[in-house]
């Protein structure tokens, strides 16, 4: 009886089917890495929303301003008025690389929250029922709060819509525009409290601020 010859190397290579080769190539080397950035951002946004909602609850429902001075709820309110702007504006400061912006916004909003809770806003600056210093402190805090909101918005709009690269990445431009618009809004509030606000004055003031900003842009462009 004749012995069968051993299979050659070529036949051994042929025994490996193409599906095995393809499956061996496509097998994952390890666990798939998934981006984890959206989860922290989602949690950060949810935490900020809860903090601002708690702030509103203390102001409008709980009426924290009528609580005693040594009440523990006041301490909780102080924590909230510091925590809410910190969670909200710190990512903005990191995104735009403004390291000084986060402390500025936190102090401005904390002072604003204290005034809203424990100091009544001035209705008539010249009525004599309030000290003028507290009234101007109220408007100064309002100016700081408005600039903390409008400056990132102006910078983001500049990055999206301005054509000049110099103007797009100019943070001084963003803060100048935010300051001018905030000054305009605070001026309207002061004019209303003084009883001097009229629609022609408001419109002319807005046109004047727009002209000043156009001159700044034309000079630097």
The predicted-structure confidence for 82-95, as pLDDT tens digits, reads as follows 999 999 999 999 99
Indicate if the pLDDT at residue 11 is higher than 50: no
What is the structure's pLDDT at 128? 53
What is the structure's pLDDT at 144? 96
Read off the tokens for 109: 């909003």
What is the structure's pLDDT at 12? 46
What is the structure's pLDDT at 202? 92
What is the structure's pLDDT at 3? 52
The percent of residues in the chain predicted with pLDDT above 90, rounded, is: 48
What is the structure's pLDDT at 30? 47
111-126: average pLDDT: 76
What is the structure's pLDDT at 197? 84
Read off the tokens for 174: 């963003």
Weakest-pLDDT range from 49-53, 120-124, 145-149 = 120-124
More confident residue, 123 or 103: 103
**67 three-class SS:** coil
**Rounded Cα–Cα distance for residues 216 and 209 (Å):** 11
Sign of the four-CA dihedral 40, 42, 48, 53: negative
What is the structure's pLDDT at 216? 86
CA atoms within 13 A on the CB side of 27: 6
What is the structure's pLDDT at 165? 74
More confident residue, 122 or 48: 48
Q: What is the pLDDT of residues 31-85, one digit of tens each?
A: 444 544 444 778 888 999 999 999 999 999 999 988 888 899 999 999 999 999 9
Helix axes 171-194, 132-161, angle to 10 degrees: 140
Q: Which residues contact 51 (CB under 8 A, 6 or more apart)?
A: 80, 83, 84, 87, 88
* CB-CB neighbours of 139 under 10 Å: 16
Mean per-residue pLDDT over the chain, rounded: 81
More confident residue, 127 or 189: 189
176-185: average pLDDT: 94
């Amino acid at each position: 009886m004749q012995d069968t010859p051993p299979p050659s190397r070529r036949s051994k290579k042929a025994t490996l089917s193409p599906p095995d080769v393809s499956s061996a190539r496509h097998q994952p080397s390890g666990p798939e890495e998934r981006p984890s950035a959206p989860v922290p951002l989602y949690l950060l946004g949810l935490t900020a929303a809860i903090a601002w909602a708690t702030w509103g609850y203390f102001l409008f429902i709980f009426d924290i301003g009528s609580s005693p001075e040594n009440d523990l709820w006041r301490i909780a309110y102080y924590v909230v008025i510091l925590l809410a702007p910190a969670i909200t504006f710190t990512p903005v400061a990191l995104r735009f690389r403004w390291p000084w912006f986060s402390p500025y916004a936190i102090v401005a909003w904390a002072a604003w929250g204290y005034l809203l809770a424990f100091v009544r806003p001035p209705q008539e600056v010249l009525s004599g029922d309030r000290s003028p210093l507290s009234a101007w402190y109220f408007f100064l805090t309002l100016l700081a709060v408005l600039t903390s909101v409008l400056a990132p918005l102006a910078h983001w709009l500049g990055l999206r819509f301005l054509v000049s690269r110099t103007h797009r990445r100019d943070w001084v431009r963003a803060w100048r525009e935010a300051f001018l618009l905030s000054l305009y809004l605070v001026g309207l509030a002061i004019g209303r409290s003084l009883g001097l606000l009229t629609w022609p004055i408001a419109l002319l003031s807005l046109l004047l601020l727009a002209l000043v900003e156009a001159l700044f842009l034309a000079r630097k462009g």
